[in-house]
Structure 1
Amino acid sequence: MSSVFEFDAVSRANAGTGSAKGIRRNGNIPAVVYGGSVGPELIGLSHNEVTKKLANEAVYSHVLKLSVDGKVQNAILKDMQRHPAKDTVIHMDFLRINMNEKIKVHVPLHFINEEISIGVKAGGVVTHSMVELEVACLPANLPEYIEVDLESVDIGGSVHLSDIVIPEGIEVLALTHGDEHNLTVAQIMKTRGPAEDEEDAAAEEGGDEEATDSE
């Protein structure tokens, strides 16, 4: 069985909506591979095979082996379109890469130690402000994901971009623009208890009564 990071494709000659619809009717996905010193190439892939491979999150942030009519080239999955009402992929974009040149990729964040974090143990709730980071790196250094450790975060506390341990050779693009881009990645908020809800309700009722009296 082929690796999850290997995609088999066939070249296709015709572009346009009609051609793309015909490819989909045959259970395939129209796609394009571009970049590098070679021009864009129209290709088609098996929808069933692609669906199986997309079940692995690492596919989205990994160097892929794209075989087009038996010719293998390094690429990354740059973009993908899904049907708005069905769980089907309707188009894919692959970007050819040079292993000696930096690439820009969105890498998923994995939040660890949420259950044992100080804030969660005290009754707080974790909210995620970001789920991925755009990074620049050589293809060989591309991580499958970046971890965000929440163990020491208390209620009211947060984790910013500068708090994350970034693997060597990885440049987080948001941090190259200065402190104003040191964005919040996650925070732990206090949950509202029944007493607080009752207090708010009482305050609203009191406000309604004052408004009635003033009339």
Structure 2
Amino acid sequence: MKTFQLTAEPRTDLGKKAAQALRKENKIPVVLNGGDVITLPYDKELKPGEKVVEIGNGKGLITTDLAVTQDAVRKLVYTPDIYAIELTVNGETRMAVLKDIQFHPVKDQILHIDLLEVNDKKPVAIEVPVKLEGHAEGVKAGGKL
């Protein structure tokens, strides 16, 4: 799998107005999901941009709110290839994959990106496009694909 280098900055202002202000600066709000699962109540100090989302059964998930520039993600989004993203935040590197992208319905501008953090400890299921080339021997003999 190809890798893509992406640098992001943590964002502390959350909500609709903060996201609109980011977009005016030609930046995109990004959420990095798939962090550590923790037991609630969580009393340790979180890094800038991190928050705890409750997932039930007294458990929580650490997510990170980030911002990236439109130019930084252009080659990641507008390509048929699948990339493993080396995400650098405050000098710390994390591995992630692209989970979801939201586009403006008229302008086709990127509004929001969701990333999924990956590591060796848990599997990640992703959709991979398959491109068929040539003809199978069974099809040549009259079968159907």
TM-score (norm 2): 0.72
Task: Specify the SS of the correspondent of 1:111.
Answer: coil
DSSP-derived class of the 1:103 partner? coil
Match for residue 19 of structure 1? Answer: 18
Which residue of the partner structure matches residue 153 of structure 1?
Answer: 139
- 1:34 matched to 2:33? The reply is yes
Larger strand percent? 2
CA distance in 2, matches of 1:99, 1:34: 16
Name the Cα RMSD after superposition: 2.1
Q: Which runs of 5+ in 2 are unaligned?
A: 37-60
Q: Aligned equivalents of 1:73 and 1:151: distance in 2?
A: 44
Give the Cα separation in 2 of the matches to 1:103 and 1:86: 32
Match of 1:106 among 103, 117, 127: 127
Which structure has more relative contact order (CA 8 Å, sep 6+)? It is 2
Matched residues in 1 for 2:131 and 2:84: separation?
Answer: 19
Cα shift at 1:74: 0.9
TM-score computed with the length of structure 1 as normaliser: 0.50
Task: Name the CA distance, whole Å, in 2 between partners of 1:36 and 1:53.
Answer: 22
Say which SS state the counterpart of residue 106 (structure 1) adopts.
Answer: coil
Give a deviation string over 1:7-33, Cα, whole Å, max 9, x none: 111100011111111111100111111
Structure 1: tracts of 5 or more residues without a match: 118-149, 159-215
* Aligned residue runs from structure 1 range 107-186, under 5 A: 107-113=128-134, 117=135, 150=136, 152-154=138-140, 157-158=144-145
The equivalent residue for 2:76 is 53
Runs of 4+ in 1 over 6 A off after TM superposition: none
